[in-house]
Amino acid sequence: MLTSTEHPKFACVFPGQGSQSLGMMTGYGDFPIVRQTFMEGSDVLGEDFWALVNNGPADRLNQTINTQPLMLIAGIAVYRAWQSLGAPQPALLAGHSLGEYSALVASGAMDFADALPLVRFRAQIMQQAVPEDVGAMAAILGLDDEVAKAVCEEITNSSNGELLEPANFNSPGQVVVAGHKGAVLRGMELAQSRGAKRTIMLPMSIPSHCSLMGAVAAKMQQQLEFVALRTPQVPLLHNVDVLSHENPLDIKNALIKQLFSPVRWTETIRSLAAAGVGYVVECGPGKVLSGLNKRIHSNLQSLALADSAALRQAADILI
């Protein structure tokens, strides 16, 4: 254990959609705050998310309208479990896509009870923005970011109104693209011809973080007018610009733009390292972000709070 004056500088990051799985909370059984947080979230939305995460069915758990509030609840539950161990305040916060809402709650900028209906609304408008089977997302592995961007531009310019755009810059050599399904399929073929090691169609019908989501930006703006936001107590880096904002209006604008702009995760992790962060703590089930973070910056130590044992191991290092 470290003395109070020897705490390493660390950041907490929160996973988003794609980290969910059936039974993902079973490893936190000795932290009552986890179940309590799920009960709190379920009361706000009028749905039993504890039963959903434990009993499924999996296809319902994976529906965007359920996954997004579920991952918010899970992230805050794990963060509260971390706090219950006496963890000091992180130096910085960030969240991947949907995880940015968890980061805002953890920062004190947004109340948990306000974030839950906002996230469910976000899921609804995203689902409604593009008809089923019209949009798609795919991961391109093994291409430089600039080459992946060029592939998207070439497909968009030759697709008669269909578009393909970068959606997530996840790590060096991993870019997720989004757009019309036909353009995504053509982009996968072109990427392979340009040297991609692998392309993977993702199990998502919603083309997140691209211009096809621009049509719902006004709806999000209207909804955010009813949400109270405060200056964060802990600075957080936003997906859109990799900057921290104190003004609530700037935060709202970042959340609106996030719908149709790429997630700049590689830059986010590099910015954490540049700020002197030595450890990045992933608050949520799974280890998706920790895997990305190791590929982005080898000198950063990644700690995934994937279960109770991992929580206690991280506490031994940082508390």
Cβ–Cβ contacts within 10 Å for residue 234, how many? Answer: 17
How far apart are the C-alpha atoms of 9 and 134, rounded to whole Å?
45
For residue 83, which phi and psi values (nearest 5 degrees)?
Answer: -65, -35
Q: Pick from 203, 96, 195: which is nearest to 147 by CA?
A: 195
Beta strand 135-141 with 174-180 is antiparallel
DSSP-derived secondary structure letter, 89: P
At residue 140, what are phi and psi to the nearest 5 degrees?
-115, 120
Cα 210 to Cα 217: distance, rounded to the nearest angstrom: 11
Residue showing tokens 């955010």: 224
CA separation for the pair 213, 62 (Å, rounded): 20
Active site residues: 97, 209
* Residue 191 tokens, joined: 């990427």
Q: Per this entry, what is the length of the chain? A: 319
Helix intervals (H) in 207-287: 217-224, 248-258, 265-274
CA 262 – CA 166 distance, rounded (Å): 6
Is the Cα torsion angle 309, 91, 13, 113 positive or negative in sign? positive
User: Rounded to an integer, what distance in angstroms lies between the CA atom of residue 62 and that of residue 23?
Assistant: 13
Burial class (CB in 10 A: 0-12, 13-18, 19+), 85: middle
